Amino acid sequence: MSLLSIGVLASGRGSNFQSIIDAIEARQLKANIVLLITDSPNAYAIERAKKHGIEYLTMVTKQYGSRDDYFAAVAAELRIREVGLVVLAGFMRIVGKPLIDAFRDRIMNIHPALLPSFPGLHVQKQACDYGVKISGCTVHFVDEGIDTGPIIIQAAVPVSFDDTEETLSERVLKQEHRIFPEAIRLFSEGRLEVVGRKVKIAGAAADKRSLIFPPID
Ligand code: GRF
Protein backbone atom coordinates (compact mmCIF):
# COMPACT_ATOMS: atom_id res chain seq x y z
CA MET A 1 0.00 0.00 0.00
CA SER A 2 1.41 3.43 -0.89
CA LEU A 3 1.92 5.98 1.83
CA LEU A 4 -1.05 8.28 2.49
CA SER A 5 -0.35 11.85 1.34
CA ILE A 6 -1.94 14.43 3.61
CA GLY A 7 -2.74 18.05 2.85
CA VAL A 8 -3.30 20.24 5.90
CA LEU A 9 -5.35 23.46 6.01
CA ALA A 10 -4.71 25.67 9.04
CA SER A 11 -5.36 29.30 9.96
CA GLY A 12 -3.54 29.79 13.23
CA ARG A 13 -1.20 28.38 15.82
CA GLY A 14 -1.30 24.85 14.38
CA SER A 15 -0.92 22.74 17.51
CA ASN A 16 -3.09 20.05 15.90
CA PHE A 17 -0.91 20.23 12.78
CA GLN A 18 2.04 19.68 15.11
CA SER A 19 0.39 16.65 16.75
CA ILE A 20 0.11 15.04 13.30
CA ILE A 21 3.73 15.87 12.47
CA ASP A 22 4.77 14.36 15.81
CA ALA A 23 2.76 11.17 15.26
CA ILE A 24 4.40 10.72 11.85
CA GLU A 25 7.88 11.39 13.18
CA ALA A 26 7.25 8.94 16.04
CA ARG A 27 6.20 6.40 13.40
CA GLN A 28 2.79 6.00 15.02
CA LEU A 29 1.25 7.22 11.79
CA LYS A 30 2.45 6.02 8.42
CA ALA A 31 1.71 9.02 6.24
CA ASN A 32 3.37 12.01 4.69
CA ILE A 33 2.28 15.64 4.98
CA VAL A 34 2.88 16.95 1.47
CA LEU A 35 1.41 20.43 1.80
CA LEU A 36 0.21 23.02 4.31
CA ILE A 37 -2.21 25.62 2.99
CA THR A 38 -2.93 28.58 5.18
CA ASP A 39 -5.34 31.45 4.61
CA SER A 40 -3.32 33.74 6.87
CA PRO A 41 0.26 34.91 6.31
CA ASN A 42 0.60 35.28 10.10
CA ALA A 43 -0.33 31.70 10.95
CA TYR A 44 2.20 30.14 13.31
CA ALA A 45 1.52 26.88 11.48
CA ILE A 46 3.87 28.22 8.78
CA GLU A 47 6.79 28.18 11.24
CA ARG A 48 6.01 24.55 12.05
CA ALA A 49 5.96 23.66 8.34
CA LYS A 50 9.31 25.38 7.80
CA LYS A 51 10.87 23.63 10.78
CA HIS A 52 9.81 20.22 9.50
CA GLY A 53 10.57 20.83 5.83
CA ILE A 54 6.92 20.75 4.74
CA GLU A 55 5.91 22.70 1.66
CA TYR A 56 3.45 25.49 2.42
CA LEU A 57 1.28 27.89 0.46
CA THR A 58 -0.36 31.04 1.74
CA MET A 59 -3.63 31.41 -0.12
CA VAL A 60 -5.49 34.53 0.94
CA THR A 61 -9.19 34.55 0.06
CA LYS A 62 -9.31 38.14 -1.17
CA GLN A 63 -6.97 37.24 -4.02
CA TYR A 64 -9.78 35.14 -5.53
CA GLY A 65 -12.96 36.31 -7.21
CA SER A 66 -15.36 34.24 -5.12
CA ARG A 67 -15.49 31.65 -2.39
CA ASP A 68 -15.94 28.93 -5.00
CA ASP A 69 -12.92 30.19 -6.93
CA TYR A 70 -10.88 30.08 -3.75
CA PHE A 71 -11.81 26.51 -2.87
CA ALA A 72 -11.43 25.35 -6.47
CA ALA A 73 -7.86 26.72 -6.37
CA VAL A 74 -7.23 24.99 -3.02
CA ALA A 75 -8.57 21.71 -4.42
CA ALA A 76 -6.34 22.08 -7.50
CA GLU A 77 -3.19 22.51 -5.36
CA LEU A 78 -4.11 19.44 -3.32
CA ARG A 79 -4.87 17.38 -6.42
CA ILE A 80 -1.60 18.32 -8.12
CA ARG A 81 0.20 16.80 -5.12
CA GLU A 82 -2.00 13.69 -5.21
CA VAL A 83 -3.32 14.28 -1.70
CA GLY A 84 -5.37 11.38 -0.35
CA LEU A 85 -6.68 13.07 2.80
CA VAL A 86 -7.34 16.72 3.58
CA VAL A 87 -7.01 17.63 7.24
CA LEU A 88 -8.55 20.80 8.65
CA ALA A 89 -6.41 21.67 11.65
CA GLY A 90 -7.90 24.87 12.99
CA PHE A 91 -8.94 26.11 9.56
CA MET A 92 -11.32 28.97 10.34
CA ARG A 93 -13.40 28.95 7.17
CA ILE A 94 -16.46 27.09 6.01
CA VAL A 95 -15.22 24.77 3.31
CA GLY A 96 -16.65 25.52 -0.13
CA LYS A 97 -18.33 23.01 -2.40
CA PRO A 98 -15.52 22.70 -4.97
CA LEU A 99 -13.24 21.29 -2.28
CA ILE A 100 -15.90 19.05 -0.74
CA ASP A 101 -16.82 17.64 -4.14
CA ALA A 102 -13.17 17.00 -5.02
CA PHE A 103 -12.47 15.19 -1.73
CA ARG A 104 -15.81 13.70 -0.66
CA ASP A 105 -15.36 11.67 2.58
CA ARG A 106 -11.67 12.53 2.44
CA ILE A 107 -11.73 15.77 4.46
CA MET A 108 -11.43 15.57 8.25
CA ASN A 109 -12.01 18.31 10.80
CA ILE A 110 -11.35 18.53 14.53
CA HIS A 111 -13.96 20.34 16.60
CA PRO A 112 -13.49 21.23 20.28
CA ALA A 113 -16.90 20.03 21.54
CA LEU A 114 -18.95 16.86 21.54
CA LEU A 115 -20.98 17.27 18.36
CA PRO A 116 -23.84 17.69 17.68
CA SER A 117 -23.68 19.87 20.82
CA PHE A 118 -22.09 23.26 20.30
CA PRO A 119 -21.23 23.51 16.61
CA GLY A 120 -19.62 26.73 15.37
CA LEU A 121 -17.24 29.05 17.20
CA HIS A 122 -16.25 29.76 20.83
CA VAL A 123 -17.69 26.43 21.83
CA GLN A 124 -15.62 25.88 24.98
CA LYS A 125 -17.07 29.14 26.36
CA GLN A 126 -20.54 28.03 25.34
CA ALA A 127 -20.06 24.69 27.10
CA CYS A 128 -18.92 26.44 30.31
CA ASP A 129 -21.73 29.02 30.19
CA TYR A 130 -24.34 26.35 29.54
CA GLY A 131 -23.17 24.36 32.53
CA VAL A 132 -22.64 21.01 30.84
CA LYS A 133 -20.79 18.44 32.96
CA ILE A 134 -19.12 16.71 30.04
CA SER A 135 -17.63 18.20 26.91
CA GLY A 136 -14.83 17.03 24.66
CA CYS A 137 -13.79 16.98 21.05
CA THR A 138 -14.88 15.38 17.81
CA VAL A 139 -13.09 14.33 14.64
CA HIS A 140 -15.53 14.17 11.75
CA PHE A 141 -15.65 14.07 8.00
CA VAL A 142 -16.62 17.37 6.43
CA ASP A 143 -19.83 17.80 4.51
CA GLU A 144 -21.68 20.90 3.28
CA GLY A 145 -22.99 21.84 6.75
CA ILE A 146 -21.21 23.50 9.66
CA ASP A 147 -19.73 20.73 11.82
CA THR A 148 -22.41 18.29 10.66
CA GLY A 149 -20.43 15.56 8.89
CA PRO A 150 -20.16 11.90 9.96
CA ILE A 151 -18.40 11.50 13.31
CA ILE A 152 -15.22 9.40 13.39
CA ILE A 153 -13.92 9.63 16.97
CA GLN A 154 -14.90 11.60 20.05
CA ALA A 155 -13.17 12.06 23.37
CA ALA A 156 -15.01 13.21 26.47
CA VAL A 157 -13.63 15.48 29.16
CA PRO A 158 -15.30 16.52 32.40
CA VAL A 159 -16.30 20.14 32.96
CA SER A 160 -16.11 21.59 36.46
CA PHE A 161 -18.13 24.46 37.92
CA ASP A 162 -15.03 26.65 38.04
CA ASP A 163 -13.84 25.96 34.52
CA THR A 164 -13.27 28.93 32.24
CA GLU A 165 -12.98 29.00 28.48
CA GLU A 166 -9.19 28.84 28.94
CA THR A 167 -9.05 25.92 31.38
CA LEU A 168 -11.58 23.86 29.46
CA SER A 169 -9.90 24.62 26.12
CA GLU A 170 -6.61 23.39 27.50
CA ARG A 171 -8.11 20.12 28.75
CA VAL A 172 -9.97 19.55 25.49
CA LEU A 173 -6.89 20.37 23.40
CA LYS A 174 -4.90 17.56 25.02
CA GLN A 175 -7.54 15.14 23.78
CA GLU A 176 -7.60 16.76 20.33
CA HIS A 177 -3.90 16.01 20.02
CA ARG A 178 -4.60 12.39 20.88
CA ILE A 179 -7.65 11.61 18.73
CA PHE A 180 -6.81 13.54 15.55
CA PRO A 181 -3.71 11.49 14.70
CA GLU A 182 -5.62 8.38 15.75
CA ALA A 183 -8.48 9.12 13.32
CA ILE A 184 -5.96 9.78 10.54
CA ARG A 185 -4.23 6.52 11.35
CA LEU A 186 -7.51 4.61 11.03
CA PHE A 187 -8.10 6.31 7.68
CA SER A 188 -4.57 5.52 6.50
CA GLU A 189 -5.17 1.86 7.32
CA GLY A 190 -8.39 1.86 5.27
CA ARG A 191 -10.47 1.15 8.35
CA LEU A 192 -13.08 3.92 8.06
CA GLU A 193 -16.26 3.44 6.08
CA VAL A 194 -18.95 6.09 5.82
CA VAL A 195 -22.36 4.47 6.00
CA GLY A 196 -25.08 7.10 5.68
CA ARG A 197 -24.24 9.60 8.37
CA LYS A 198 -22.35 7.07 10.49
CA VAL A 199 -18.73 5.95 10.33
CA LYS A 200 -17.96 2.27 10.71
CA ILE A 201 -14.51 1.51 12.15
CA ALA A 202 -13.15 -1.86 11.10
CA GLY A 203 -11.22 -3.96 13.59
CA ALA A 204 -11.73 -5.20 17.09
CA ALA A 205 -11.78 -2.77 19.99
CA ALA A 206 -11.77 0.25 17.69
CA ASP A 207 -14.92 1.59 19.29
CA LYS A 208 -13.51 1.26 22.79
CA ARG A 209 -10.52 3.37 21.88
CA SER A 210 -12.71 6.16 20.58
CA LEU A 211 -13.76 7.39 24.03
CA ILE A 212 -11.70 8.68 26.93
CA PHE A 213 -12.75 10.28 30.16
CA PRO A 214 -9.73 11.71 31.97
CA PRO A 215 -9.99 13.20 35.45
CA ILE A 216 -10.09 16.98 35.96
CA ASP A 217 -6.47 18.02 36.38
C1 GRF B 1 -8.66 23.73 17.97
O2 GRF B 1 -9.28 23.87 19.22
C3 GRF B 1 -9.57 23.01 17.00
O4 GRF B 1 -10.41 22.10 17.61
C5 GRF B 1 -10.38 24.15 16.42
O6 GRF B 1 -9.48 25.21 16.31
C7 GRF B 1 -8.44 25.05 17.27
C8 GRF B 1 -7.16 25.08 16.51
O9 GRF B 1 -6.03 24.99 17.33
N10 GRF B 1 -10.98 23.73 15.17
P11 GRF B 1 -4.62 24.74 16.69
O12 GRF B 1 -4.41 25.80 15.63
O13 GRF B 1 -4.60 23.36 16.12
O14 GRF B 1 -3.64 24.89 17.82
15-42 pLDDT tens trace: 999 999 999 999 999 999 999 999 999 9
- Domains along the sequence of the chain with CATH: 1-103 (3.40.50.170), 110-217 (3.40.50.170)
Pocket test for ligand 1, best of 40, 42, 110, 137 (most atoms within 8 A of CB): 110
Helix (H, G, I), strand (E, B) or coil at 20: helix
| 111 part of the active site | yes
Task: Give the tens place of pLDDT for each residue, 72-110.
Answer: 999 999 999 999 999 999 999 999 999 999 999 999 999
52, 111, 122, 177: the catalytic one is: 111
User: Which of 11, 15, 36, 40 has most ligand 1 atoms within 8 Å of CB, for mutation?
Assistant: 15
| Confidence bin at 212 (pLDDT 50/70/90) | low
Q: Is 16 in the pocket of ligand 1 (CB under 6 A)?
A: yes
Residue 135 beta carbon below 6 angstroms from any ligand 1 atom: no
Cα-based distances in Å from 116 to 51, 123, 136, 148: 36, 11, 11, 7
pLDDT in tens, 49-71: 999 999 999 999 999 999 999 99
> Quick check: bond before 116 cis, omega within 30?
yes
Backbone angles phi, psi at 26, to 5 degrees: -85, 5
